[in-house]
A and B are shown apart, each in its own frame.
Chain A
Amino acid sequence: MNCEVCQLKELDVEYFEIREVLRCILHTIFFHRALGLVRPKDVDLTLFEITYVQCGDAELEKKVDDKIDQFIDRVEKHPNKKNQICLSFFEVKNKQATWFTHKVEHLYWEQWYINLNVAHHPKPHSGKSHHSKLVLDPGESASDEGNARRATLESSLHEVLFQIIKFVNEKKDHIPPIPNMEGVSFPYEITISSSSDSAFGMDMFKRMLQTGHPTMLS
């Protein structure tokens, strides 16, 4: 089984936009991978005129929010760096126990890379709450720039969502049989990395090696 990898378009976001953008993207992906019985839940973004869909799993929602919090913390610690969230779906394979190893192997069959370029601005307060807007310079030009940037980001986010839809539509054969699970049908993990990490690229390379097949970058 090959591992399908989707590198989503990089987005330039501000601190206060991270949460909404990541929620939108992650939940859109999860909605396509929660193949059990769901009651879709529409969520309107407050910063953009976009409505995304959640699969209605409260536990998943909490996990996503926790991961977003970790990402935001990491971004605060590593400013001015490209940050990435990797959502991986895997199958659990029990390796044959040996004297040295007895571990469960994760066979990744799909990976989503969400690339965010967080603009560096002096944050007023570190913490999980990033609802405070950045102080804009007085004058119309700054507000116009902000509006243009926001519109560009909304358009880019739109593109990312359609990118997900296209990917999901085009790649279907690699999906393993649907287990009888509530919420997200397949085991997954979310990892956070940033460009400053030495293992930023190495981590990707390791995952590629684990799959045993050349990745197909979209």
Chain B
Amino acid sequence: MMAVNPHSEPAKMEQIITEFFAKSLHIILESRCPFVSSRNYSGELSSASAASMRPRDKWFNLALRDCPAALENIDFWRQSNLEPMVVDVVLVQRPVNWDYASSSPKLAFEQNLLSKDRFPVVWKSDSDEFWCDGHSEKVIERWIMRYESKKGCKEGSSANKRSSTITSHALYKKSILLLRSLYVTVRLLPAYKIFREINSSGQIRSFSLVHRVSSSVEPLVRRDEAEMQQFTFTPVDTSCGKLCISLSYLPSISDTTSESSTPMSPQFITDYVGSPLADPLKRLPSASLPQYSPSSPFGRRHSWSYDTRMASPPSALPSPSPTYSESRTLHSKFGSHRPPISSRYSSLEPAQVHTKDTGYDEYFPSPNFSPSPSPSPPVGSNMLKVLLRSDSAPVYIPTSRLGDAPLYSNKTVLPFSPPLQATRPSLSLVERSLSIPTTAGKLLSLRGEDTARPSGVKISSNSSPHKSSSRSFSRLSFEDSYDDSEFSGPFVVDDDDTLDPGSRPGSSDRSGNLGMQHERVKSQDAAVGALVQMLKKAPPLQQDLNRSQYVSKTSRPEKSSNQIQDHPPHASSNVSSFSRVSGIKTTSDAMEELKGYLDVKQMLLKQSGKP
């Protein structure tokens, strides 16, 4: 056989025809094979994107995504030497209670295998509605692409040489137009809706689409053929024939697919967003974790993930970055480490609140937090989670566990730093005194227990009052920090404290902050103001509500306290007047109370006088 010059017109013609078939098949199967769609493949046609396209994509100036089904079938078809290409789009319907897990993928796979082997078509069923294994198939579309060659026309003949040149160009242009029409048409047919429906959701449906590509036209069942409508694209003439695309389709398929798709078995989603199972407790690691340095940007950020590894020795932990990356994948490992961590979280609640990295924590929640047994009360932990998730600012967390956390490691530790595992050393005088007058009720209780003494010191020695006082004080501190933006610093310090307790005492890194805090504490006015704040916000107790107001009045400013100190008669008169108004039992009681406050004031003054 004479070698054909690839640049000759006949060769070009043949190439155009071959590629026409390939492109047609690609267009059809792209919109009929579920999950193999190149839909919305396009964007703006940039020069870079155009350059990146494969040569086949540019055929007929229509760039499409890869369609493996089309590629597979066209390879087989090329061997058929321009035989007609018949593409059947088959709607496969299965019973509603069909075992999808075991059957449907297999069914589709088998169908595709059959399609591969079906050159020529070995489909010998008399009915297009083929029942197999409980499912039915129905041909809803039949596309036939064929090249009808003219009889007696010889390719490469000299008579046709000149016209064929024109013809090849015209053929290409008209082929472009035809394929554009084909592309639009496939999307206007009813089968396209089914294709989109299958592709749109992952629901298991009772129907699916399969395709069969063959080189011979198998007759359709009369009934189906009668239902189908015909559409034929205008053939494109060539020098020796014409390219034709014809279509038979069912105009209405809605009745077969109108049945609802099989719903997925109901599953209880236990780890929904916002559930205790899904959302992590965004807490910083405990104070006993020496690996994280305060200066490390990841120390705080990844602390939650680090927390999940608390079961392992801290020294075995990698650097923060790997921890961060690993935390995203090793969820099971995290979950296994949950129990020992969660017990610390509740006590860490006030300490772990910080303004940063809340968004990060939201995106990378520590898994399996809640399923682990946690001693923390679920309500409090949930509240924590809600607050941590929603707010980026320091938040006061009204949890009962607040008081359990020892607030101070030593006297250098600020009241705002609730260390996790810090012991309860002796408190500084200032801190003790600050911790004492928590509520009016507490103050009145002191009245009966301790009179005319530094009740603050006494209270501090008592564990339970200390807890309550520390709670109240921490409440105060957090409230202050919540109200005052400059208090956001302490949270940073707190985190550092909890992260690196070893360096906590007298750490040079935090000395600046500590000194600032001391200055605040030292300030007499601030202390008095703190007292006033506490008293104001203390929960009222029956008749003590008015007393608290009285106390706040008396202890508010330095000036007023000095006045009280310097002018006891005035205070007593005030007390007596107040007693007349509020109905306090005895004036002496009030005086004792006042004396207590004065003692506190003295202590404060002494403390402020210290270096």
Contact = CB atoms under 8 A, between A and B. Distances in A.
A171 to B, nearest CB: 9
Q: Which 3 A-B pairs have the closest CB atoms?
A: A39-B42, A169-B234, A56-B42
Given A28-B184, A182-B45, A51 B50 contact: no
Interface of B: 39-45, 49-50, 58, 61-64, 173-174, 176-178, 180-181, 183-185, 187-188, 192-193, 196, 233-234
A53 B177 contact: no
A102 B177 CA distance: 35
B176 A35 contact: yes
Nearest to B232: A169
13 contacts: A32-B177, A32-B180, A32-B184, A35-B176, A40-B41, A52-B187, A56-B42, A56-B43, A56-B44, A58-B44, A165-B184, A169-B234, A178-B173
Contacts of A168: 177, 180-181
A42 B177 contact: no
A50 interface: yes
Contact of A169 (B40, B49, B176, B233): B233
Contacts of A165: 181, 184-185
A37 interface: yes
Interface in A154-213: 158, 161-162, 165, 168-170, 172, 175, 178, 182
Contacts, number: 86
A79 interface: no
Contact of A37 (B41, B63, B177, B183): B63
Given A58-B44, A161-B188, A38 B177 contact: no
A52 B184 contact: yes
A42 B43 contact: no
Given A169-B177, A169-B234, A172-B234, A37 B45 contact: yes
A124 B222 CA distance: 55
Contact of B181 (A36, A40, A57, A169): A169
A202 to B, nearest CB: 32
B177 A35 contact: yes
A35 B169 CA distance: 13
Nearest to A171: B234
A49 interface: yes
Interface string A12-37: 00000000000000001001100111
A126 B188 CA distance: 33
Given A32-B181, A172-B234, A158 B42 contact: no
A35, A36, A58, A158, most chain B CB atoms within 10 A: A35
Interface of A: 28, 31-32, 35-42, 49-53, 56-58, 158, 161-162, 165, 168-170, 172, 175, 178, 182
A162 B178 contact: no
A167 to B, nearest CB: 10
Contacts of A35: 61, 173, 176-177, 180
A75 to B, nearest CB: 27
A165 to B, nearest CB: 5
Nearest to A41: B42
Given A35-B61, A39-B42, A41-B40, A53 B50 contact: no
A4 to B, nearest CB: 13
A57 B45 contact: yes
Given A41-B42, A172-B177, A172-B234, A53 B183 contact: yes
Nearest to A164: B184
A162 B232 CA distance: 12
Given A31-B184, A37-B61, A38-B45, 6 more contacts: A51-B188, A57-B45, A158-B188, A162-B188, A168-B177, A169-B177
B148 to A, nearest CB: 17
Nearest to B237: A172
Given A53-B183, A169-B181, A40 B42 contact: yes
Nearest to A44: B196
A105 B64 CA distance: 37
B173 to A, nearest CB: 6
B44 A57 contact: yes
B184 A161 contact: yes
A203 B63 CA distance: 39
Nearest to B42: A39
B185 A38 contact: no
A30 B61 CA distance: 14
A169 to B, nearest CB: 4
Contacts of B44: 56-58
